[in-house]
Amino acid sequence: MPPFRLAAILFVLGFPASFSASGAPPPPWNDYQIIIWQSEPPAAYATLKRMGVTAGSVEMIRATGLFSRDEAAGLASAGFGFYLENIATDFYSPYHRFYEGKQVNWRYLELKKRYLSNPSDRSVFLRDPSLSDPAWIARIGHRIADNVAALGGREPLYYSLADEPGIADLAVNWDFDFSPVSLEEMRKWLEGEYGSLDALNREWDARFSRWDDVMPETTDEAIRGPRDNLAAWVDFKTWMDVAFARAIAAGSAAVHAADPHALSAVEGGQIAGGGGWDYARLAGTVDVVELYDRGDNLELVRSFAPNTILLTTSFNAGKTEEHRVWRELLRGTRGLIIWDDNHEFVADDGSLGPRGRAAAPYLAEIRSGLGALLGASERQLAPIAILYSQPSLHVQWLLDRRPDDGAWVKRSSSSEYEDNAIRSATSANLRWLEHQGLQPVFLSAATLSPATLDRRVRVLILPEMIALSPAAASEIHHFSEAGGAVLAEGEPGTFDEHGRRLAKPLLADLFPRAPAQLPSPDDLASRLAKEGISPAFPVLHTDGKAAADVESYVFRNGGATILALLRDLPAAGAAPSDEQVSVALPHPSYAYDLRTHEALGRLDHLKLSLTPFSPTMIALAEQPLAAPTAHVRFDESGSPVVAFTAATADDVMHIEVADAAGHPISMLKQNLLMVKGAAELTLPMAGAEQPQPWTVTARDVLSGGTVTISVQSSGQQRQ
């Protein structure tokens, strides 16, 4: 590959042009990536490139277990990066994957059909392959190593273990996995959890004489069994969460063993609860997760594993989709996958389709540095935590199914996206806080500790946490006794963490009246204020009332604060219009509009006009943000190196380069992440066809200030 092309591709990925694939590891993911999933012809790729698309997917060839060289070559020739897709879908997603001429979930549907015709047939609960099968784990490791070797030193964006994995079909609850290897591993896990067989027998109300005899309950048995003890079923569901997380972690470890600099991933993250999707266990098992943002799973991953790179996928068009992409950017996503199976984004001839025309402006804006800037900024969290409990979700699911008896078998994965008491209470609390400009953190039972609670939290919210361990309840008591505020909805701790109903709820002394109810919004705001918690940037309508339809997000970048405001979607049938609001600032600050690149001056309050479908983003600083600077030096090879300084330590510089005729060199358009307010850019001018001198224009994304410098390889430059 010619040096100029290699450098250009690295620019697209956010890597410095001087990076060598065989040398030092690439820097961390430092820009917002836009990825096209479907393969496209050259004309379509050229259009996507101009729109800011940076990469594509490269599928595994099932017959060989290796990536498609043709797809990789097509992307490379178009100047795109790539990621490897569906490396081990046959292991992680055997009941939901592409089958020629069949439905993606036909294997699962066949199991349901068999079970409905013969409920005594336990063979329908043998997962094939088992997530605990060591031979399959080894096979996946070899496959990953073979692909890394075949890449010959090229670094994909990430290695995706599977798309839409799950224990069975996505988030569906199914009684996998009763296979011998799964039961053997489950018994080892249970022995570690309980310590002795006697302890398990007491909890399950069982009489097993040997660990080899331990057998959990099926869903039918649990639904029709004693109402007060679900432990033999809940423990099995918890085991399958463990098995799923272990299998994902094993695949991730295989990626890192084959290439220590590589990123592992899964795509199609489901709603928490069923199918193995316990985010307290899964978070941190991979480096990259593409999520379907439901049931607050994005916030769960962000809380439990803050360094995880979060992606989302665009399936639709229109203003609602624009709002969703912006919102998920503010909530922490660092890239977007475009699903365009009907060529609505771009046609084969390169012409923009309706989706492409609608998305081009906001995708270009996100790629012009806003996405990179948010990725480099620190989210400001309120000292408020919401408890997440997978055992509570399991218990709630079974209690909700009991009135239907055997109808659970007929449920689909989409049925599992229905709200229940826990999800409704959790989402309502999270949404209310976000509309107050307060970003909480999620905690799990495993992360409840004096170090976590005392350091980070002053208010702990328990949304219908019906299943708690004695250890978690003890930590909550200690937190309350130390002066922390505990707010609950429902009656917390009526079951233990295994699903056994308790004679007395574990937090009955904190909540003597059952069921507990959270304060009304006004009372909750007052309660938070008593704890010293109030919005740093209250958003008000022109009549002085709080703007209840605006979400607020606050980030810190060096010496600057970023305030992002996003309205709720307009009500159905309502004519979209701008909304006038004011924001009182904690102290006079210099304000900069990140989207219009305007310096607004020194202000003690903001008067803003919020559009219906996209955010307003303002940078605030106590002192004026310094103007960016640039100067040129030459490295040992004679290549020009442009050194930049920016306004703050973690700022982003948006770079555009044009040749002597004024034609943009699109391959060099990029966002440069500053380190301690400085960065360097090596220009690959030697052998390039574009006439010199080149003009480099850099815009400081925080301040909007620009600097322009003229560069030529002869060593003479004009500024």
600 and 647 inside one domain: no
pLDDT score of 682: 92
What confidence category does residue 714 fall into, taking pLDDT thresholds of 50, 70 and 90?
Answer: low
332 and 279 inside one domain: yes
- Cα dihedral 665/671/675/677 (nearest 10): 90
Structural domain harbouring 643: 629-711
Percent over 90 (pLDDT), the chain: 85
671 and 558 inside one domain: no
89 and 157 inside one domain: yes
User: Does residue 210 lie in a domain region?
Assistant: no
Q: Which tokens in the block code for residue 148?
A: 């890394």
With CA atoms as reference, report the closest residue to 91 among 59, 135, 125, 61: 135
Distance CA 187, CA 385 (A): 34
Percent over 70 (pLDDT), the chain: 95
650 and 678 inside one domain: yes
CATH number of the domain residue 657 falls in: 2.60.40.2150
Distance CA 460, CA 471 (A): 16
**Residue 32 is which amino acid?**
Y
pLDDT score of 405: 79
Distance CA 91, CA 113 (A): 22
Structure pTM? 0.93
For the chain, give the mean pLDDT.
92
CATH number of the domain residue 584 falls in: 2.60.40.1180
What confidence category does residue 1 fall into, taking pLDDT thresholds of 50, 70 and 90?
Answer: very low
CATH number of the domain residue 82 falls in: 3.20.20.80
User: Does residue 191 lie in a domain region?
Assistant: no
264 and 356 inside one domain: yes
- Cα dihedral 685/690/695/699 (nearest 10): -80
pLDDT in tens, 203-237: 999 999 999 999 999 999 999 987 899 999 999 99
User: Does residue 104 lie in a domain region?
Assistant: yes
> What is the domain count for the chain?
3
Q: Which tokens in the block code for residue 392?
A: 């509570």
159 and 300 inside one domain: yes
Please determine, for residue 286, whether its predicted confidence score (pLDDT) is greater than 90: yes
301 and 262 inside one domain: yes
pLDDT score of 525: 86
User: Of 588, 621, 654, at which residue does a domain stop?
Assistant: 621
Please determine, for residue 12, whether its predicted confidence score (pLDDT) is greater than 50: no
686 and 573 inside one domain: no
User: Of 621, 643, 661, at which residue does a domain stop?
Assistant: 621
Q: What is the mean pLDDT of residues 300-306?
A: 96
pLDDT score of 687: 81
User: Does residue 417 lie in a domain region?
Assistant: no
pLDDT score of 6: 29
Higher pLDDT, 529 or 188: 188
274 and 345 inside one domain: yes
Please determine, for residue 8, whether its predicted confidence score (pLDDT) is greater than 60: no
pLDDT score of 9: 29
Distance CA 439, CA 433 (A): 7
Q: What is the mean pLDDT of residues 332-342?
A: 96
Please determine, for residue 27, whether its predicted confidence score (pLDDT) is greater than 70: no
Backbone angles phi, psi at 70, to 5 degrees: -65, -45
267 and 319 inside one domain: yes
The count of other CB atoms within 10 Å of the CB of residue 455 is 9
pLDDT in tens, 427-464: 999 999 999 999 999 999 989 988 888 778 999 999 99
What confidence category does residue 319 fall into, taking pLDDT thresholds of 50, 70 and 90?
Answer: very high
User: Of 377, 404, 438, at which residue does a domain stop?
Assistant: 377
Residue 52 DSSP class = T
Please determine, for residue 15, whether its predicted confidence score (pLDDT) is greater than 60: no
40 and 126 inside one domain: yes
Element (H, E) at 317: none
Please determine, for residue 645, whether its predicted confidence score (pLDDT) is greater than 80: yes
Q: What is the mean pLDDT of residues 12-35?
A: 52
pLDDT in tens, 373-420: 999 999 999 999 999 999 999 999 999 999 987 899 999 999 999 999
pLDDT score of 3: 30
